[in-house]
Structure 1
Amino acid sequence: MSHRVADGARLVDGLRDHPDYQKILSAYRKASVAQSCLADLREAGHMVGALRELLKSSRKRGSVQRAATETALLAQAVQLYARATHTAASKGDRGSIDIRPHLDPAQREDHHHLSHVRVYALAHVYPGKNIGGSAWHRGMCMLVETDHGWRVGFASNRTQIDAQTLQALERQIPVAGRVALAIFHKRTTALSSLLQASGAPLAAYEDALIDLAAIMGPDGARAAINGLIGGEASHWTGKRA
């Protein structure tokens, strides 16, 4: 059975003259944020899985290429986790969802560690700052005696892969994902109720019809629709440029 699909943003925009428009718009935005954050967490899980598989392999171990790949996967997983659960939003930014009230003490400790890694080691450089018992960035100035006098030089030592952070990600991403999924379902239920109560005519939905396959590709569209019908309406699909 084929299903027609309407663009929610276009539908909501078409209700501008409805007395509950601001309430509907707010519910739409909150649901959109929850879905996007949930997608971040799922993508972070893919990064961690890829890193674990890479660590099992001896391919190019000890090479610059291997170190760069490991670092990129770990850093991106942390960035995605923090982007979904920690970062403050500026004007125009999507924002995140606050999962902290739903965490137990051990989970909060993992959450704080990942947040600190993102802020103090990845987004910025804080030389010598202790993060989880070690410094991710170390630098020193050297004066080396040569035949032509003392030469000034600098050296830096940066953490490439950190077992504590990887383990925290493996524990925390599933936890955060469950919290985000519950928030997502709560917000989509609220939006659905408001749209149903709005009495929007069928014509409003038909005016907002889209070709989902043209936007997401046939496989992505099929996954999204099947997930929605089955009770899960959030999917992450990779698209190669």
Structure 2
Amino acid sequence: MFTNTHLLVVDDHQDIRDPLAAYLRRHGARVSTAVDADVARALLLQQAFDLIVLDIMLPGESGLSLCKHVYEEIGTPVILLTAMASAANRVAGLETGADDYVVKPFDPSELVARIRTVLRRLQRAEVGIARPTLPVKRYGFDNWTLDLEKRELLSPAGESIPLKTSEYRLLRVLVENPHTVFTRDQLLDMTTEGFTHSFDRSIDTQVSRLRKKLESDPRRPHLLKTAWGNGYFFTSDVKVLA
């Protein structure tokens, strides 16, 4: 049973949307529904959701476009629904930021299991990052500051650099484990939710975005370096700030 879980189901087919919402409610979830991306965007401005079940083939704005917006601007996990089962379509969906992909027709019990898994991985990502024994509020590295309470990155000039949820999680893992080489799979396990382990190149996108914010020349990074054939590591010494 879902407890205190608010789900958003976005599908233009009423014969799928309404029965699915009813099924999820029977499992204890609070469920809102939307017939297209415009309605979904309006709901996302008004309420917070724990997860979005999103059909790809929507009238007007596509589900992939909405998924990309959610991934980049909100951070809510997304499970895509689609009738397209090819590997290329799955990759396209996951590359927009989706956490999982379910092909129609589907068994509602399978979708429930996948929702639980995504939410469980999200919870683990939030609490599973290695932390020092004493609570830490801020880290300093190379004249940068990462404020954990505010989830804020301050540049050497004191400028606040916006971080999306995925970027914050990745940077925090690296800052709390400097000089440690992590494989892509390890970084995905510690920073993401969902079945993304088979598409480990998605972590490269997050690294690229962080480099653009941290590095004076992202093509020649000196803070977030590549361990060729292995993954990535953070080169700077890190201090705990008062």
> Which structure: greater strand fraction?
2
Q: State TM-score, norm by structure 1.
A: 0.25
Question: Relative contact order (C-alpha < 8 Å, sep 6+): which is higher?
Answer: 1
Larger radius of gyration: 1
Q: State TM-score, norm by structure 2.
A: 0.25
> Which structure: greater helix fraction?
1
